[in-house]
């Protein structure tokens, strides 16, 4: 792919990211990173901050900032490892689980896809293909 095509592709990804992220945050009330962080904790259970950092591919200071905000809202609990004081474990609260379920229910219960705030205008197979292609680019 020539440089102009690469530039066009990257610019389109940037625009899509900005628009979809704003829609996501408006619809759920969560930043995409904090939502993803809570989903990791919901699926995997208690994790260390380092595990979250690796999963989210963000630096340790960013993980700490996100966790501080979530902890202030009683959506996560942090606890130091008793055997290694430098390690911090994080777990999701019942309140956060309920919020995540509410978000999913509100999104999924829209009668028509056109009513879904986060409808991206792709068929199910196109969404799957896009996810596969973007995942391939990250690896």
Q: Which residue has the higher pLDDT, 47 or 121?
A: 47
Q: What pLDDT band is residue 138 in, cutting at 50, 70 and 90?
A: confident
Would you kindly state where each structural domain of the chain is located, as residue ranges?
Answer: 18-97+115-138
Q: What is the pLDDT confidence band of residue 1, given thresholds at 50, 70 and 90? A: confident
- Determine how β-strand 76-80 pairs with β-strand 88-92: antiparallel
Residue 79, sorted as left (phi over 0), alpha (psi -120 to 50) or beta, turns out to be beta
pLDDT in tens, 53-111: 999 999 999 999 999 999 999 999 999 999 998 999 999 999 999 999 998 888 777 65
| CATH class given for the domain over 18-97+115-138 | mainly alpha
d(CA 71, CA 66): 9
CA distance 107 to 117: 7
Is residue 115 scored above 70 in pLDDT?
no
**Beta strands in 30-122, from DSSP E residues, in sequence order:** 47-48, 76-80, 88-92
pTM: 0.84
Helix-then-strand count for the chain, H and E = 6, 3
């Amino acid at each position: 792919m020539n440089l102009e095509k690469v530039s066009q592709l990257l610019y389109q990804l940037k625009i899509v990211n900005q628009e979809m992220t704003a829609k996501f945050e408006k619809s759920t009330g969560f930043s995409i990173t904090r939502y993803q962080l809570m989903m990791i904790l919901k699926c995997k259970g208690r994790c260390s901050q380092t595990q979250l950092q690796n999963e989210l591919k963000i630096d340790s200071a960013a993980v700490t900032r996100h966790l501080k905000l979530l902890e202030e809202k009683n959506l996560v609990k942090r606890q130091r490892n008793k055997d290694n004081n430098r390690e911090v474990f994080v777990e999701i609260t019942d309140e956060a689980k309920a919020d995540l379920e509410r978000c999913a229910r509100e999104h999924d219960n829209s009668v028509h896809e056109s009513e879904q705030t986060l409808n991206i205008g792709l068929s199910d197979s196109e969404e799957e293909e896009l996810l596969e292609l973007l995942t391939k680019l990250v690896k």
